[in-house]
């Protein structure tokens, strides 16, 4: 197990580097560069050439990447070309907001998916099953921005500001600046709609998957044996069927993190949240290469670490699974 | 009877007194409170002399002060300067500064600080977008600690306009803080580095989250500002912005999208919708020349393969575009169809709409003359960017209108940086739809439309345009200046070097409890007299 873990941890390095390299090359292939945005109405060709030289943007792409990597190894994530702000600082300030959003949206997804899937599997081809399947289909079909706007129109616009439409209140002890709104309640109010908007689509996917897995498990011989032995139905469903059906679901949950990061860009922009999603999209739009690299690095790292964690949870869900050398 | 009459008279009198006293109370500004402002775009950075974008400028004019400001009716009022004199030959402007003006770091705003700030703007190493406006300035001289003189190379009729509101005006920098901190620290918004002399001092800027400014207690106008704090947040989505406004989460939207104004008004009948004369042109620019040698920005130019021909420019831009229809669809009638280069709210504006009536037959005839027709149909690329949704609407309407005269316009939708990259760097494009910057004077448009500027995207190489602008800027007689403006605008419309569609309306929205704000478009956004009546 230890060797396996070490191997996986070492694998993270080339994976993350590959992702950052691809992003690095792709960003520089996109038309436009940050100098145009930086100089704005002061733009002239001579100044643009000088600024490109100053930021090393005139060097070959590979060399730029090596320079970026060299600094990264020393803990220097660079500074934003547009605002001059240190990338690592901005990433660390925004990361907790996005992490909270992603964790809570996954919680929303599971809170919907697990009961819906159980009902669907246990009461197959009855109206509760049809209802759960239909809701799942609707959830899959609604994009995050649309769900977000609907929630916004109902709970913020329609119901006279029942839930706040935008911004962020920090959890106590997490305020990254001098002036912050800080409270548990305020934080919960601010994160609720974004987490639901982001989680609802994932809930639908997980419901369908978990229902199908549970149906498969329920038909296995060991479940029939358990029933024959007189084990109670709740115990069969929760202990035998659900736990075993969770393995493919957990795999998909890990992969869904990537979609959640993508969805966070949309949801954070819609709800004006100061998270990594808005950081990433602003950086891409402004061609702020250093910030884009920081965004790619942290999201790639988060993705591979979460998937490693997912793989490790298999051993808990199914004790027969062993990771050897 | 007399008693009854006297009593009713007294009642009426008492009511009037009560009413007046009540109004008097309501009109007395209250101190304190936090103004919550929403911006639609992020602030680029906080170096006031170089950062692009109105969002930064609206912070700069509250953290910073300048020499003078301009009112919405075009009058100049002192800011750090209490008075000024112009020499008879208009070659020197002498400003007398107020005695009690301090920067936020406690250093005085004196003549040396003014000289320092202007010299910094004029220094090519600063790379300020303002530099071009200071071309007529020969030098800045310190006459005594509170008197500074700006000497010009030649008369410049718009010197005061420029100081007050070009790129929304000169912002004075504390020499001490500027020398102590690096450019990067100022760009990052490090509070000690961003030192102005305005009514509010910068407390912090968390990009992507909020910018906080607090009252500067030693502001030179006694009693001002009324507010304790201003917090600026960025809300990019107009629907979210409307929801936040309706829920009372924000007090002021600094720039609101015109297409959502009616919805906002319907849901917030008491909201103050602030707007004025249009000063921003909405353009359908056509590229006039391309580099002869294929190298972008080359001085050797050849006519653009399509719009290098004046007949085609006139067919498409002048007679082929139905401006009324565009305004009706894209702006719900809340803009003015306008052919002239400077919109209806700009100084010395000229209505030349009669020069370009919508006339499909004439457009087709001109196209036929230029060799286009059913046998050789004209196809061009119509570019726009994603910054404002109204651009896409206008582009779609133009495409449809082109179809009516047998022309195919292929829409190319790009993001803002790609658009800037293509247009500023002389890249390949045929026509684009955009609104550029707000124009307080026709003179300020020289920078966007003379033959040498990077921002003159059509890249016409007609020196006559430059001559017009130079004559206009040097002419000190207002009547003669208006005559030159008319000639210039007619010339631009006749040559179709600048193809205006309409003005681009600008809206701000305030809660009913926000008092004391004076609307002056994008040019002056000051919170020093704002107070909250709640």
Task: For residues B26-32, give the mean pLDDT.
Answer: 86
Q: Which of A29, A32, A156 to mutate to test the interface with B (most CBs of B within 10 A)?
A: A32
Distance to chain A for B525, nearest Cα, Å: 20
Query: For B114-155, how does the pLDDT look when each residue is reduced to its tens digit (9 = 90+)?
Result: 999 999 999 988 888 888 889 999 999 999 999 999 999 999
Distance to chain A for B463, nearest Cα, Å: 19
CB pair distance less than 8 Å for A31 and B421 = yes
Of A83, A160, A282, the CB nearest to B188: A83
B21 pLDDT tier (thresholds 50, 70, 90)? very low
pLDDT given for residue B132 in this prediction:
85
Distance to chain B for A97, nearest Cα, Å: 11
> Is residue B131 less than 8 Å (CB to CB) from chain A?
yes
Beta pairing partners, B234? B39
Mark out the alpha helices in B268-322 (DSSP H runs).
310-313
Of A33, A82, A274, the CB nearest to B44: A82
Give chain B positions within 8 Å (CB) of A37.
44, 52, 416-417, 420
B267: nearest CA partner in chain A = A157
Compute the distance between CA of residue B283 and CA of residue B497 in angstroms, rounded to an integer. 11
Give chain B positions within 8 Å (CB) of A156.
243-244, 246-247
A155: nearest CA partner in chain B = B243
CB pair distance less than 8 Å for B209 and A274 = yes
Distance to chain B for A176, nearest Cα, Å: 9
CB pair distance less than 8 Å for A166 and B239 = no
Q: Beta strands of B295-352 (E only): which ranges? A: 301-303
> Is residue B449 less than 8 Å (CB to CB) from chain A?
no
Of A85, A152, A168, the CB nearest to B243: A152
pLDDT given for residue A140 in this prediction:
82
pLDDT given for residue B5 in this prediction:
55
Q: DSSP assignment, residue B167?
A: G
B416: nearest CA partner in chain A = A285
Distance to chain B for A81, nearest Cα, Å: 10
Of A36, A51, A93, the CB nearest to B417: A36
pLDDT(B18) > 50: no
Lowest mean pLDDT among A218-232, B331-345, B481-495: A218-232
Question: What is the C-alpha R_g of chain B?
Answer: 26
Query: For A260-308, how does the pLDDT look when each residue is reduced to its tens digit (9 = 90+)?
Result: 988 999 999 999 999 999 999 999 988 899 999 999 999 999 888 888 8
pLDDT(B24) > 50: no
| Terminal alpha carbon distance of chain A | 7
B33: left (phi over 0), alpha (psi -120 to 50) or beta: left
Give chain A positions within 8 Å (CB) of B297.
45
Compute the distance between CA of residue A241 and CA of residue A210 in angstroms, rounded to an integer. 10
**CB-based contact B178:B146 (threshold 8 Å):** no
**In 3D, which of A49, A26, A54 has the Cα closest to residue A289?**
A26
How far is the CA of B47 from the CAs of A325, B184, B188, B311, B495, in angstroms?
56, 8, 8, 45, 39
**In 3D, which of A142, A153, A156, A158 has the Cα closest to residue A197?**
A142
CB pair distance less than 8 Å for B183 and A40 = no
Of A34, A82, A274, the CB nearest to B208: A274
Within the 198-227 window of chain B, which residues sit less than 8 Å (CB to CB) from chain A? 203-204, 206-210, 212
pLDDT(B271) > 50: yes
HEC states along B61-124? HHHCCCCEEECCCCCEEECCEEEEEECCCCCEEEEEECCCCECCCCCECCHHHHHHHHHHHHCH
pLDDT given for residue A323 in this prediction:
67
pLDDT given for residue A83 in this prediction:
84
CB pair distance less than 8 Å for A39 and B231 = no
**CB-based contact B320:B499 (threshold 8 Å):** no
pLDDT given for residue A39 in this prediction:
80
B131: nearest CA partner in chain A = A42
Distance to chain B for A62, nearest Cα, Å: 23
Distance to chain B for A104, nearest Cα, Å: 21
Give chain B positions within 8 Å (CB) of A96.
none
| DSSP H or E stretch at residue A289 | helix A289-317
Of A79, A161, A285, the CB nearest to B417: A285
Cβ contacts of residue A21 below 8 Å, gap of 6+?
A: A65
**CB-based contact B389:B259 (threshold 8 Å):** yes
**CB-based contact A100:A190 (threshold 8 Å):** no
Q: DSSP assignment, residue B373?
A: S
**CB-based contact B102:B116 (threshold 8 Å):** no
pLDDT given for residue B354 in this prediction:
97
Rounded to 10 degrees, the C-alpha dihedral B341/B346/B352/B357 comes to: 80
pLDDT(B213) > 50: yes
Beta-carbon count within 10 A of B453 CB: 18
Q: DSSP assignment, residue B132?
A: G
Rounded to 10 degrees, the C-alpha dihedral B96/B101/B103/B104 comes to: -160
pLDDT given for residue B355 in this prediction:
97
| DSSP H or E stretch at residue B212 | strand B210-215
Give chain A positions within 8 Å (CB) of B131.
42
Name the one residue in this structure whose structure tokens are 């680029």: B44
Cβ contacts of residue B50 below 8 Å, gap of 6+?
A: A42, B126, B127, B128, B129, B183
CB pair distance less than 8 Å for A83 and B206 = no
Query: HSE (CB half, 13 Å, CA atoms) of A69?
Result: 15
CB pair distance less than 8 Å for B240 and A270 = yes
Q: Can you list the residues of chain A whose pLDDT is less than 50?
A: none
Compute the distance between CA of residue B196 and CA of residue B76 in angstroms, rounded to an integer. 21
Distance to chain B for A250, nearest Cα, Å: 33
Q: DSSP assignment, residue B340?
A: S
Q: DSSP assignment, residue B131?
A: G
pLDDT given for residue A35 in this prediction:
86
B205 pLDDT tier (thresholds 50, 70, 90)? very high
Query: For A124-170, how does the pLDDT look when each residue is reduced to its tens digit (9 = 90+)?
Result: 889 988 988 888 888 888 899 999 999 999 999 888 789 999 999 99
Compute the distance between CA of residue B487 and CA of residue B187 in angstroms, rounded to an integer. 42
CB pair distance less than 8 Å for B208 and A166 = no
| Interchain CB contacts (distance < 8 Å): A and B | 162
What tokens were used for A278?
């808005």
pLDDT given for residue B1 in this prediction:
43
Query: For B155-192, how does the pLDDT look when each residue is reduced to its tens digit (9 = 90+)?
Result: 999 999 999 999 899 999 999 999 999 988 998 898 89
Within the 450-489 window of chain B, which residues sit less than 8 Å (CB to CB) from chain A? 454-455
Of A32, A168, A279, the CB nearest to B421: A32
Provide the whole-model pTM: 0.87
């Amino acid at each position: 197990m230890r060797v396996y873990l070490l191997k996986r941890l070492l694998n993270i390095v080339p994976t993350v580097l590959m992702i950052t390299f691809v992003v690095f090359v792709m960003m520089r292939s996109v038309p436009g560069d940050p100098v145009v945005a930086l100089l704005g109405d002061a733009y002239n060709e001579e100044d643009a050439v000088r600024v490109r030289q100053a930021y090393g943007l005139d060097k070959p792409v590979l060399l730029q990447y090596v320079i970026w990597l060299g600094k990264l190894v020393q803990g220097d994530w660079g500074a934003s070309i547009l605002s001059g702000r240190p990338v690592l600082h901005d990433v660390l300030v925004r990361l907790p907001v996005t992490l909270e959003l992603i964790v809570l949206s996954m919680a929303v997804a599971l809170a919907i998916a697990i009961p819906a899937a159980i009902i669907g599997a246990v009461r197959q081809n009855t109206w509760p099953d049809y209802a759960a399947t239909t809701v799942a289909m609707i959830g899959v079909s609604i994009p995050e921005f649309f769900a977000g706007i609907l929630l916004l129109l109902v709970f913020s616009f329609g119901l006279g500001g029942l839930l706040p439409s935008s911004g962020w209140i920090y959890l106590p002890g997490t305020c990254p600046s001098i002036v912050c709104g800080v409270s548990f309640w305020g934080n919960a109010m601010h994160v609720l709609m974004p987490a639901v908007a982001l989680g609802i689509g994932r809930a639908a996917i997980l419901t369908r998957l978990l229902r199908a897995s549970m149906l498969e498990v329920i038909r296995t011989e060991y479940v029939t044996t358990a029933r024959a032995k007189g084990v109670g139905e709740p115990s069969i469903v929760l202990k035998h069927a659900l736990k075993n059906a969770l393995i493919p679901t957990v795999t998909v949950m890990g992969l869904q993190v990537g979609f959640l990061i993508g969805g966070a860009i949309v949801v954070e922009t819609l709800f004006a949240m100061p998270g990594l999603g808005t950081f990433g999209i602003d950086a891409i739009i402004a061609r702020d290469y250093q910030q884009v690299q920081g965004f790619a690095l942290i999201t790639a790292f988060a993705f591979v670490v979460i998937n490693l964690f997912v793989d490790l949870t298999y051993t808990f869900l199914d004790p027969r699974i062993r990771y050897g050398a | 009877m007399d008693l009854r009459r006297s009593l009713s008279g007294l009642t009426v009198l008492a009511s009037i007194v009560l009413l007046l006293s009540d109004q008097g109370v309501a009109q007395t500004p209250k101190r304190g409170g936090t103004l919550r402002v929403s911006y639609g775009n992020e602030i680029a950075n906080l170096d006031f002399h170089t950062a692009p974008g109105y969002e930064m400028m609206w912070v700069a004019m509250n953290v910073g002060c300048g020499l003078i400001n301009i009112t919405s009716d075009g009058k100049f009022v002192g800011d750090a300067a209490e008075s000024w004199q112009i020499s008879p030959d208009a070659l020197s402007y002498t400003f007398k500064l107020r005695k009690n003006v301090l920067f936020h770091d406690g250093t005085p705003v004196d003549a040396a600080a003014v000289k320092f700030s202007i010299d910094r703007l004029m220094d090519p190493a600063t790379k300020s977008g303002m530099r071009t406006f200071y071309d007529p300035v020969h030098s800045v001289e310190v006459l005594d600690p509170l008197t500074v003189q700006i000497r010009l190379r030649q008369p410049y009729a718009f010197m005061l306009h420029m100081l007050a509101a070009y790129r929304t005006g000169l912002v004075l920098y504390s020499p001490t803080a500027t020398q102590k901190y690096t450019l990067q620290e100022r760009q990052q918004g490090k509070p000690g580095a961003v030192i102005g002399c305005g009514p509010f001092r910068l407390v912090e800027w968390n990009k992507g989250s909020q910018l906080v400014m607090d009252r500067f207690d030693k502001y030179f106008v006694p009693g001002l500002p009324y507010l304790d704090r201003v917090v600026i947040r960025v809300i990019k989505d107009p629907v979210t912005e409307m929801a936040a406004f309706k829920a009372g989460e924000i007090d002021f939207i600094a720039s609101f999208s015109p297409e959502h104004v009616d919805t906002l008004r319907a849901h917030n009948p008491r909201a103050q919708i602030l707007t004025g004369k249009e000063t921003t042109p909405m353009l359908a620019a056509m590229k006039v020349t391309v580099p002869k040698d294929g190298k972008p920005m080359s001085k050797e130019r050849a006519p653009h393969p399509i719009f290098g021909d004046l007949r085609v420019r006139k067919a498409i831009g002048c007679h082929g575009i139905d401006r009324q229809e565009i305004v009706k669809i894209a702006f719900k009638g809340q803009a003015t169809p306008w052919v002239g280069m400077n919109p209806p709210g700009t100084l010395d504006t000229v209505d030349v709409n009669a020069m370009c009536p919508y006339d499909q037959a004439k457009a087709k005839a001109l196209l036929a003359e230029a060799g286009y027709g059913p046998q050789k149909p004209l196809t061009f690329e119509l570019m726009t960017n994603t910054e404002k949704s109204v651009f896409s609407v206008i582009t779609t309407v133009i495409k449809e209108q082109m179809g009516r005269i047998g022309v195919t316009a292929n829409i190319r939708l790009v993001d803002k940086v790609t658009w800037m990259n293509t247009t500023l760097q002389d890249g390949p494009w045929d026509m684009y739809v955009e609104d550029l910057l707000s124009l307080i004077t026709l003179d300020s448009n020289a920078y966007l439309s003379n033959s040498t500027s990077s921002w003159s995207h059509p890249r016409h190489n007609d020196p006559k345009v430059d001559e017009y602008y130079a004559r206009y800027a040097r002419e000190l007689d207002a009547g003669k200046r208006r005559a030159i403006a008319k000639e210039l605008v007619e010339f631009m419309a006749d040559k179709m070097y600048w193809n205006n569609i309409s003005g681009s309306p600008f809206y701000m929205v305030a809660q009913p409890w926000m008092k004391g704000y004076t609307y002056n478009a994008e040019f002056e956004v000051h919170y020093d007299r704002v107070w909250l009546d709640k």
